[in-house]
Amino acid sequence: MSDVGLTPYLIVAAVLFVCGIVCMATKRNAIGVLMGVELVLNGANLNLIAFSRYGQLGFDGQAIAMFVIVLAAAEAAVALAIVLNFYNNHLTVDVDQARQLNS
Amino acid sequence: MSPHLAELSLAERLSEVGWLGQSGALLAAALIHALLVGLFFGLPAFVFIWAERKISGRIQDRLGPTRTGGRFGWLQSLADGVKLVSKEDLVPAAADSMLFRVAPYIVVVASFAAFIVIPFSDGWIAQALDVGLFLGLAILSLEVLGIILAGYSSGSKWSLFGGMREAAQMVSYEVPLGLTAVIPVVAAGSLNLNEIANMQRGWAGHWLVFHDPFTFIAFFVFFTVTLASNKRAPFDLAEAESELVGGFHTEYSGMRWSFFFLAEYASMFFVSMLAVLLFLGGWWTGLPGLDEAVIAAVGGYPARVLGMVVLLAKSSILVCVQIWIRWTLPRLRIDQVMTTCLKYLVPISCFLFLGATIWPLVLLAVLGRPSVLPLGDEPIGARVVPAQAGLSAPAAGRNMATRVSRSTQEAEGSR
Amino acid sequence: METVIFTIYALAACGGAIAVMVSQNVVRMAFWLVISLGSVAGLFFLLHADFLGATQLLIYVGGTVVLLIFGVMLTASGPMLTIRSGPGEVVLGGLVGLAVLGMLVFGMLSVDWESQQTRMYSAAAEEGRGERSMGYNPEGEGNTARRLGAALLGVRFDRDLGRNSETLSTGYLLPFEIVSVHLLVVLVGASYLARTKRRRPNPLEESLES
Amino acid sequence: MTVTQLLDRFISVDLLRSLEIFCPELILSATVVLLLLCRMIGVDRRIPACWIALAGSLAAFLGVVVQLRFMQSPGLELPSDFFGWAIGGAVRGLAALFHLTEEGVGTPGPYFTGLMMHDALAVMFRLGLLLLLVLTLSLTVLTGLPDQEDGADFYTLLLGAVVGMLMATGVNHLLMLFLSIEMMSVPSYAMVGYLKGRRQSSEAALKFVVYGAGSAGVMLYGLSLLAGLFGTANFHEFAARFTVAMAGEPFSLTSGVVILTLLGVAMLFVGIAFKLSLVPFHFWCPDAFEGASAEVAGFLSIASKAAVFGALLRFATAFTGDGESIRQLTSYLGVGLAVVGAASMTLGNLAAYTQSNLKRMLAYSTIAHAGYMVLAVAAMMVFRSAAPGGLLGSRDPLQESVLAVEGLIYYLAVYLFMNLMAFAAVAFIRNETYREDIDACRGLITGNFWTQLVCVALLLSFASLIGIPPLGGFFAKFLIFRSIFVAGYLHPVLWGVLAIAGLNTVISLFYYFRVMRAVFILPRAENQRPLEMPGVVAAYSVIIALPIFLLGASPLQARLSETARAISASLFY
């Protein structure tokens, strides 16, 4: 049985991370930005678990990833509530339309 | 080959055949499992649609469905299938065509993949995971995605309403579903469905539904919640045909439409099997004498086939109850559905969960043993794998499934 | 065989992520996100993190993404669905992204992970923690639920058993308990924000508004 | 060792002690639950939520006071004079009430199996944070921010965020760093959007949450790189593991380990810099503070900074140690921090000059102050990177790093009072005039006696923010500038940073002066009546403004500074 090794996993994680970053930077829809954040978090989680399997991190990697998933879900819930609240007040979810506060 | 499949007793058994060889046995085992999963996924739709017609016909005194299609009307489902396959596959102009085409596949894949965690009989499981139950619920929860996407992408307001209702309903009902599914886990101390089922060996009093008052109520709550998560009546708001035409599948036709139905009946069957494995003793008949007699008569391995039949029978009864409920109760309103979940089912399941965790401690304090019924020689608490075995010596105590199956094989070998 | 499965999942994960990045329609983005996250869950299974894989499917794919799509449906009406980003932003974002990716991949390729691990292992052995295994114990592959449960209880059976050491290994009791407080607080906050407007208007707010 | 032995050992050795140290967080968590329960059964009609929250945070505050007492005098000896005896007796009584003991709270060291660190620094930061919590709670009661109906929601969010902040001061593990930063951020997103019917408030919350979630994601990725590279997530193993990973190779930017370490630290720093509103990651701060209510903005500007500085100190010290490569890394990080600090203070001060909204101006001033404070950490890192017997001559690098951290602690202590006073004044003015721009303060001094008192308190706070000599702000800035100057011997770049910092102090004079001019010199607009603030508001202002004096030119100054030094020493010894 062939073993994939650590580096390929890390590279997949890096691709996810970068896609997420670009997504956060370029999307104007607030929910699109949040999707970018999810991608970034998944890249990090994949890193942690790959290190936990092949690296010296051991089981701690899985434990940390577990909490990250939970925290990310909580963050997404609040973010979505804020987006809804914004939509109720402004009737748009375009982040670039949020410019009332620029002076 | 995935490392888990290699541990399966079926593969080990096949490799003893000789002319198959090691890899051939693995392949054969994989094929058999794939076939089993496929059958369990595909057949219920045909059987239970027929059953639904017959039962509803009897319940509502409608004679039509009981008279057509060959003897007992068994050809009716087949005729339906042929009709659906030959129908034209329409994509509305307003639809988001890619998502519209993909959505039925998501639903089908989700309800199909859920079967890989189900042990059909002792050790007969496509993917022996120690988190089987958890994974099953997780995969089942993916079904909602397909339905939301179908509702959204159809470009029709009926569909969108259906999709939204489904999303709200599923997301809320997942909470009591998870909580009630955890209650037998608490009692058994394992997430492995095979282990949980094997712990209910012996008299029917060993079934987890009779384990304590909380699991008893939890079974009924679980059953109710699974009705909702399968969008079966009285919770079929997503496709309420009297108000939303067809809900999320209004715009679908032909094969894609039939996929939704295939998935619905398959997941009805899936949740029934889950209920049987968690609460109703899995593949054990509840009569230890009978179980032992069968094993002694036909040997451990063929006995598993009979075990599978027992599991199928129990689950089919539950499916029939689902059908019976559908044709008996009126549909709820959407606000009633949400109230039922958030105001009643969630608090009840929280209370049950707390109760189920405290119960063994109370029993230990009062009776000095963790079970009320002095049935059998080992109460369920003692049957939990010692923490040490699973943790410090993983190779030895991999999981109960393999150990049980190995010991059966050893017994056979010695005989 | 593992390589083949890995390749499929990895391509699906990366492809999904790239499609999320490129796609302009929010609902399609959500669909690609599901593909990507689902494949990551598959990679978790391949890494023998079964519990994490199932959690990923249940919480991320089945929960968070459904929540996101729900949000899209509540806020999206026609034109809002495809808010395009300007070409300048896309080019700039793409370039920065490529630069970061290049740096990360260069760093990852130039580290010799195996010798790193050996060195770390021998260093750990010198500190008297030689029982610590190389990586996640492959003998107990897949059997993660109990380990994780014990770690969340605060005791590391997998590390401390059979070892007579004064210090206990890192257990995760504190985060496990305190996260529940966090979830409660967050739930209260989210429900407060998403609730409909209050019944009586606050004069302070109205005056600030005008 | 068997399972049972291990469990027994865990409970007896670690858990009981940890719970003692964790008592303030536990009390706050219990208060949150109590708040929600009270609303559920309808008690909040009779006992308003603010009193429950206040009682809970006071209890937590007293718990930390006892912990600090244990840290200062082990065994809680009673002094001979009467007052000391009475206070000591009260502390003993409280210790018995909270079940705090010498073995538990009195012994510094890691707790919760190494996830957290208990030392005088953590206790002091928690004391400050809880004091701020009590003051903020009283402020919201005075200004009536949450109404009867939503009080429980607001205080739940506030207390929840504080639990995260308290934890951040003692983190010793990467997971706890991420967890505590999330725990303080997520409720604060919701708090910024608390005035949910207001367009600006929802916009501020949206920007805050979008940027915040993004930076948290980047931070997590950096964290995963570091954890994987070093094979551990415990701070105190980092330096040793870095040396092992380098394996005697020279420190060069082409080595994979160095690249990944620097990338990891930089990404992790993104999350920290976001919370501290340091320069490339500051853009959320003015928007969020302008949209949020002044009370919330004041609380966030102080509390999240203080907590994250606590975490940053621990994270930064994790990368210091003996060995050539680790020294190089430390000095790189130190100089990088100094540059970021210089950039933040320059941008903050320049941008503040053009603002017309008070909260927005204060937000930029917050950015500038974060820049000053991060210089202390930079100086500490540079000192720690010094090889023994190097350029510092006769000065002991370790002693110098203690002094640098002392400067940070002193600055934060003063900052608590002066910034809270500034934001509280904005809230008071808003309640009277329904406006928050600088023009609203015109002729404030013409109001009644209580308003005049508030004006004087505001003057004190602004003078201290500038750093005018007899006040606390001056001493704080002086301590940090001194450390930077000494650190300049090791890295001449820091002398440049020092020059920028000095220049900035002068720039800041102008925009603070604009507000002061409006308050004291400009006449009230024709159609506006003179303000009549209630007396309790003035009393509150005086209570907050007094410590600005005490931390400055007062007999107490030397003692306070000594305490700060002792506390900062606990980080290193």
DSSP notation for chain A:
-----HHHHHHHHHHHHHHHHHHHHH--BHHHHHHHHHHHHHHHHHHHHHHHHHSS-THHHHHHHHHHHHHHHHHHHHHHHHHHHHHHHHS--BGGG--TT--
Is A101 part of any domain? no
Give percent of chain D with pLDDT exceeding 90. 35
Residue A12: domain span: 8-93
Question: Distances from the Cα of A63 to the Cαs of A57, C48, D372, in angstroms?
Answer: 11, 13, 37
DSSP assignment of B178-225, as one string? HHHHHHHHHHHT---HHHHHHHT-SSGGGSGGGTSHHHHHHHHHHHHH
Is A2 part of any domain? no
Q: Do the chains contact at D221 and A47, CB–CB below 8 Å?
A: yes
Is D287 an interface residue toward A (CB < 8 Å)?
Answer: yes
* Residue partners of B301: CB distance under 8 A and separation at least 6: B13, B408, B412
Is B387 an interface residue toward D (CB < 8 Å)?
Answer: yes
Task: Determine which helix (DSSP H) or strand (DSSP E) holds D116, and give its type and residue range.
Answer: strand D116-118
Our CA angle for B303, B307, B312, nearest 5°, is: 150
* Tokens representing residue D254 in the block: 């082409």
- What pLDDT band is residue D374 in, cutting at 50, 70 and 90? very high
Closest approach of A90 to chain C, Cα-based (Å): 11
Q: How far apart, in whole angstroms, are the C-alpha atoms of residue B65 and residue D563? A: 89
Q: What is the pLDDT of residue B378?
A: 47
pLDDT tens digits for range D506-533 = 888 888 888 888 888 888 777 777 778 8
Q: Of B67-81, D112-126, D387-401, which has the strongest mean pLDDT?
A: D112-126
List chain C residues with CB under 8 Å of A27: 85
Our CA angle for C168, D177, C33, nearest 5°, is: 110
Residue with tokens 């993983």: B394
What's the domain count of chain A? 1
Is A88 part of any domain? yes
* Tokens representing residue B64 in the block: 């039509």
Q: How far apart, in whole angstroms, are the C-alpha atoms of residue C125 and residue C135? A: 14
Strands D109-111 vs D116-118: parallel, antiparallel or unpaired: antiparallel
Min mean pLDDT across B371-385, C109-123, D448-462 is at: B371-385
Is B370 an interface residue toward C (CB < 8 Å)?
Answer: no
Task: Give the residues across from B131 on adjacent strands.
Answer: none
For residues B320-330, one letter each, b for 16 or more C-beta atoms within 10 angstroms of the residue's C-beta and e for the rest, the string is eebbebbeeee
Q: Comparing B233 with D379, which gets the higher pLDDT?
A: D379
DSSP assignment of B27-92, as one string? HHHHHHHHHHHHHHHHHHHHHHHHHHHHHHHHHTT--HHHHSSSGGGTHHHHHHHHHHHHS-----
| Interface residue of D156, D173, D221, D229 to substitute, partner A, most A CBs within 10 Å | D221
* Residue partners of A39: CB distance under 8 A and separation at least 6: A16, A17, A19, A20, A23, C17, C20, C33, C36
Q: How far apart, in whole angstroms, are the C-alpha atoms of residue B181 and residue B179? A: 5
Residue D173: φ, ψ to 5° = -155, 140
* CATH number assigned to the domain comprising residue A12: 1.10.287.3510
Residue in B with minimal Cα distance to D4: B388
Q: Which of D479, D462, D475, D399 is nearest to D425 (CA)?
A: D462
Q: Which of D169, D211, D170, D212 is nearest to D187 (CA)?
A: D212
Inform me whether the pLDDT recorded for A98 exceeds 80: no
Contact, D233 vs D175, CB < 8 A?
A: yes
Q: What is the pLDDT of residue D167?
A: 92
DSSP designation for C133: -
Q: What is the pLDDT of residue B212?
A: 81
Is A98 an interface residue toward C (CB < 8 Å)?
Answer: no
Residue D219: φ, ψ to 5° = -60, -45
Mean pLDDT of D484-496: 89
Q: What is the pLDDT of residue B404?
A: 37
Q: How far apart, in whole angstroms, are the C-alpha atoms of residue D71 and residue D118? A: 10
Q: What is the pLDDT of residue D161?
A: 94
Single-letter residue type at A12? V
List chain C residues with CB under 8 Å of B342: none
Closest approach of D264 to chain A, Cα-based (Å): 11
User: CA dihedral in degrees (A65, A67, A73, A78; nearest 10)?
Assistant: -130
Inform me whether the pLDDT recorded for C204 exceeds 60: no
* Tokens representing residue C2 in the block: 């593992």
pLDDT tens digits for range D161-193 = 999 999 999 999 999 999 999 999 999 999 998
Residue in D with minimal Cα distance to C168: D113
Is B63 an interface residue toward D (CB < 8 Å)?
Answer: no
Is C161 an interface residue toward A (CB < 8 Å)?
Answer: no
List chain A residues with CB under 8 Å of C61: none
Q: How far apart, in whole angstroms, are the C-alpha atoms of residue D368 and residue D122? A: 25
Q: How far apart, in whole angstroms, are the C-alpha atoms of residue B126 and residue B139? A: 15
Is A75 part of any domain? yes
Task: Determine which helix (DSSP H) or strand (DSSP E) holds D117, and give its type and residue range.
Answer: strand D116-118
Q: Do the chains contact at C58 and B134, CB–CB below 8 Å?
A: yes
Task: Give the residues across from D467 on adjacent strands.
Answer: none
pLDDT along chain B (415 residues), means of 10: 39 65 74 78 78 80 65 73 79 79 87 83 73 86 84 81 81 87 82 80 78 87 88 75 72 81 85 89 80 76 80 89 86 82 89 87 73 49 39 33 38 39
Inform me whether the pLDDT recorded for C166 exceeds 70: no
Is C155 an interface residue toward D (CB < 8 Å)?
Answer: yes
Is A103 part of any domain? no
Our CA angle for B103, B108, B114, nearest 5°, is: 130
DSSP assignment of B126-189, as one string? SS--TTHHHHHHHHHTTHHHHHHHHHHHT--HHHHHHHHHHHHHHHHHHHHHHHHHHHHHHHHT
Q: How far apart, in whole angstroms, are the C-alpha atoms of residue C147 and residue C137? A: 11
Q: What is the pLDDT of residue D377?
A: 92
Residue with tokens 């609040």: A78
Q: Which of D292, D283, D412, D413 is nearest to D348 (CA)?
A: D283
SS3 state of residue D118: strand
Inform me whether the pLDDT recorded for C132 exceeds 60: no
Q: Do the chains contact at A61 and D228, CB–CB below 8 Å?
A: yes
Is A59 part of any domain? yes
Sign of CA dihedral D157, D159, D165, D167: negative
Inform me whether the pLDDT recorded for D388 exceeds 80: no
Q: How far apart, in whole angstroms, are the C-alpha atoms of residue D133 and residue D422? A: 16
Is A98 part of any domain? no
Residue in D with minimal Cα distance to A17: D221
Residue with tokens 């309808």: D42
* Tokens representing residue C42 in the block: 């598959």
Q: What is the pLDDT of residue B377?
A: 42
* Greatest Cα-to-Cα distance within chain C, rounded to the nearest angstrom: 70
Q: How far apart, in whole angstroms, are the C-alpha atoms of residue D188 and residue D291? A: 13
Q: What is the pLDDT of residue C135?
A: 45
Terminal Cα-to-Cα distance of chain A (whole angstroms): 62
Q: Specify the length of chain A in residues.
A: 103
Contact, C26 vs C76, CB < 8 A?
A: yes
- What pLDDT band is residue A41 in, cutting at 50, 70 and 90? very high
DSSP designation for D110: E
Kindly report the average pLDDT of chain D as a whole number.
87
Q: What is the pLDDT of residue D185?
A: 93
Residue with tokens 């929600």: D36
Q: Which of B257, B301, B291 is nearest to B88 (CA)?
A: B257
Q: Which of A38, D261, A50 is nearest to C103 (CA)?
A: D261
DSSP assignment of D454-514, as one string? HHHHHHHHHHHHHT-TTSHHHHHHHHHHHHHHHHTTT-THHHHHHHHHHHHHHHHHHHHHH
Instruction: Report H helices in D319-389.
Output: 324-353, 358-384
Inform me whether the pLDDT recorded for C205 exceeds 90: no
Is A102 part of any domain? no
Is D204 an interface residue toward A (CB < 8 Å)?
Answer: yes
* Tokens representing residue A98 in the block: 């949020």
Residue D217: φ, ψ to 5° = -65, -45
For residues C170-209, one letter each, b for 16 or more C-beta atoms within 10 angstroms of the residue's C-beta and e for the rest, the string is bbbbbbbebbebbbbbbbbbbebbbeeeeeeebebbeebe
* Tokens representing residue C128 in the block: 């008297």
User: CA dihedral in degrees (D99, D103, D108, D114; nearest 10)?
Assistant: -90
Q: How far apart, in whole angstroms, are the C-alpha atoms of residue D408 and residue C172? A: 31
- Return the HEC string of B354-415: HHHHHHHHHHHHHCCCCCCCCCCCCCHHHHCCCHHHHHCCCCCCCCHHHHHHHHHHHHHHHC
